[in-house]
Structure 1
Amino acid sequence: MTKKKWLLLLLSLTMVISVLAACGSSEDTGGTGSDGDASQGEESGNGDAMVLRISLGINNHHPLYESALHFKELLEEKTDDFVVEVYHSAQIGDDRVATEMLQMGDLAITIPSTSPLVNFVPEYGVFDLPFMIPSEEVADAVLDGPFGDKMLALLEEQDLIGLAWYENGFRNLTNSVRPVEKVEDLKGLVIRTMENQIHLDAWSELGANPTPMSFAELFTAMQQGTVDGQENPYPTIELEGYPEVQDYISDTNHVYTPFVFLFSKPIWDTLSPEQQELIRETALEARLFNRERTREVAEQSKEKLKELMTFTEISDEERARFREAVMPVIDKHADNISRDIVEEFMAEIEKHS
């Protein structure tokens, strides 16, 4: 065979391989928890179904991830109109980035906690006020009633549709110095907090030395003694291994943080009323699963932490003293949040307590 014929044969083989590779690249890389990039509004491989992506900041061990999968399962059982893909661990973006993508119609759903939403709706700062909600039952009554509906309605001006309240849970205090059962025990403790002025002011008012710090730096800071303690929900304390570097835990329950099931208004407006109602109904249905599972996991973590750390239960009398001590902080931030919203929130809590 001549050199020219060899070159022609080699070129033909190369073209065949390229065509086969292109055909193989059409494999579906989207789906639950994957790194696929299925665009919103495009059809999926399931006929005419629209792909709805859910972005979560938390990992795939968290009850919120299970809740998102439950929503996916329920919706896909009810209709062939949608295929739901769930992305965890901020694969698409953190809570703030994901929320901005909803505003632009580049993402269908995200379920952030209320804290980052303060950047979009200042009134959401009401959920950062300490020692407000006394129990999960009161939280459910307040959020599922007129006040919760009013807070969800505020999101629409920001091109966001609030469909349901999910649960993140109560935050509790740990430290490596001493048991904390009364306000005086906090004096001088260096406590890591989120970069949130309400939280910083509250811990200062209680006599601690709050230190804002990124979550990623926290374990090392406690290990090295840079900070004495921190505050988080029970599952986070357990799963992050904090008992390795913390000796004491108190059920302060100082802040109850909800998650909010958000849908993109630009995408929502393209849906039929029947489709909108189906999504709303499914988000509310999955909410019940979320609360039950979140509370189950929190109770399991609490029992494990009792075995690993010195657990202190705060009495009702002392909890009232904690709440009284932070009232100046509530008054200080009320106008920034909306004094009317703060007063309505407190009245609703009182009504259901």
Structure 2
Amino acid sequence: MKKSLFTAAALTLGLSAVLAGCGDSATNGSGEGETLKILAAHNQTSPDNPYQTGLLKFEEVLEAESDGSIDVEVHAGTLGTEESELVEKLKLGAADVIVVSPGFMTQTGVKEVDLLALPYLFESYDHWESVVDGDVGEQMADLINEKSNNDFKLVGYWSAGVRHYYGKKPIESMKDLKGMSIRTQTSGVVSDFWTQAGAVPTSVAWGELYQALQQNVVDSSENAYPYFVQQNHHKTDNGKFVSETAHDYTTRLLLVNGKKFDEMTDEQKDALMAAAEASVEAEREAVYAQEEEYKQKAIDEGATVNEIDTAEFIEIALPIQEKLAKDIGAEEMLESINSQRK
């Protein structure tokens, strides 16, 4: 599988992105001998999570490439386990670099990003990479940069794996979902998809999901192996049956604060872009490697995994895709994505 990166050209397009100085160090990188401190955060608490791998690579490369003028501090869930918290902190300057899913960007007024959250939009990692590393990815980066008024700048596309159903019983077809509560987004296209599949979308904070599954608060959830297995969801009665729906080859956005990026020196900006590119490669490689590793771990620890025919799920997803694309004026982007299927 190719490990293509969000290219330097795409990264620099429209960019004016990131980063706040904190504490006693200087708040910008313009003076000699000053050190710029950068807070980089994600919402996952496991040290083995691919997000952590990506941000640690970002830290390593940025500090090295900036010749010590930038000091990076990585926070794994300590600035917030909810993505909405991180988005708000980035906007206010309480964080400088964050990882976030497309759904939370739509809440900031960039509605086009919701396209990347559509169920069954991608058929493989190769398909996903060709889209986000190509023209569609560049267009989406431009939209985020422009519509956020320079609050949010996209500097790379990460993955959070392939999402599957897991719950208190296996599913063989859509009818098995009827009336079941599922922890997922409770608004937008994701919610529409699961509602039409017969399930009941339910909101549960990620940090509270293990307990919710264990105590029968929610019947099921959906996520990728590296994420739910690291949180031991497969060890609960309501999480031990995994049905490989593969409904979402996920996209995650590596964002920086644009206004603060503008305060950096040219050398520091170059260092940031090099670090962003390196983090994309490292994070993706970690996700791809962990998919099989954590699937096997789940099985070894008692989870039951089954494959299903997803044709009927795709059938309900296609009209949702078409409607959203029309509503947000992204029909050409959807057509481009579909044209890149094998």
Provide the TM-score with structure 1 as the length reference: 0.79
Q: 1:215 to 1:73 in 2, by over 3 A?
A: closer
Would you say the 8 A contact 1:55–1:93 is kept in 2? Answer: no
* 1:14-33 map, 5 Å: none
Q: Indicate whether 1:117 and 2:109 are aligned.
A: no
Residues 279-318 of structure 1, C-alpha deviations (whole Å, 9 max, x = no match)? 112211221111001221222111112332221113xxx3
Of 253, 265, 268 in structure 2, the residue corresponding to residue 272 of structure 1 is: 265
Secondary structure, aligned partner of 2:272: helix
* Counterpart residue number, 1:18: none
Q: Which moved more, 1:141-150 or 1:261-270?
A: 261-270
* Counterpart residue number, 1:304: 297
* Counterpart residue number, 2:185: 194
Which of 1 and 2 has greater Rg?
A: 1
Of 203, 211, 214 in structure 2, the residue corresponding to residue 212 of structure 1 is: 203
* Counterpart residue number, 1:87: 75
Query: What amino acid is the match of 2:340?
Result: K
Q: Indicate whether 1:325 and 2:316 are aligned.
A: yes
Q: 1:222 to 1:93 in 2, by over 3 A?
A: closer
Q: Indicate whether 1:69 and 2:56 are aligned.
A: yes
Kindly state the Cα deviation for residue 173 of structure 1 after the two structures are TM-superposed. Answer: 0.4
Between structures 1 and 2, the one with greater helix share: 1
Of 168, 175, 183 in structure 1, the residue corresponding to residue 167 of structure 2 is: 175
Q: Which runs of 5+ in 2 are unaligned?
A: 1-21
Q: 1:223 to 1:59 in 2, by over 3 A?
A: closer
Q: 1:208 to 1:95 in 2, by over 3 A?
A: closer
Q: Indicate whether 1:348 and 2:340 are aligned.
A: no
Would you say the 8 A contact 1:200–1:212 is kept in 2? Answer: no
Q: Indicate whether 1:203 and 2:203 are aligned.
A: no
Q: 1:321 to 1:78 in 2, by over 3 A?
A: same
Of 15, 33, 36 in structure 2, the residue corresponding to residue 50 of structure 1 is: 36
Measure, in 2, the Cα distance between the counterparts of 1:155 and 1:278. 22
Measure, in 1, the Cα distance between the counterparts of 2:320 and 2:341. 23
Q: Indicate whether 1:59 and 2:53 are aligned.
A: no
Q: 1:263 to 1:40 in 2, by over 3 A?
A: farther
Query: What amino acid is the match of 1:223?
Result: Q
Residues 217-275 of structure 1, C-alpha deviations (whole Å, 9 max, x = no match)? 43333333343211111122212222222331111111222221112111111223343
Secondary structure, aligned partner of 1:168: coil
Measure, in 1, the Cα distance between the counterparts of 2:264 and 2:142. 19
Kindly state the Cα deviation for residue 197 of structure 1 after the two structures are TM-superposed. Answer: 3.0
Query: What amino acid is the match of 1:310?
Result: T
Secondary structure, aligned partner of 1:139: helix
Q: 1:279 to 1:220 in 2, by over 3 A?
A: closer
Q: Which has the higher contact order (CA 8 A, sep 6+)?
A: 2
Query: What amino acid is the match of 2:212?
Result: A
Q: Indicate whether 1:78 and 2:65 are aligned.
A: yes
Residues 65-116 of structure 1, C-alpha deviations (whole Å, 9 max, x = no match)? 1211111111222222311111221426853343344344454211222221
Secondary structure, aligned partner of 2:186: coil
Query: What amino acid is the match of 1:66?
Result: T
Query: What amino acid is the match of 1:188?
Result: G
Q: 1:195 to 1:147 in 2, by over 3 A?
A: same
Measure, in 2, the Cα distance between the counterparts of 1:188 and 1:101. 37
Secondary structure, aligned partner of 2:159: strand
Q: Which runs of 5+ in 1 are unaligned?
A: 1-35
Q: Which moved more, 1:96-105 or 1:227-236?
A: 96-105
Q: Indicate whether 1:290 and 2:277 are aligned.
A: no
Measure, in 1, the Cα distance between the counterparts of 2:25 and 2:104. 25
Q: Indicate whether 1:153 and 2:142 are aligned.
A: yes
* Counterpart residue number, 2:11: none
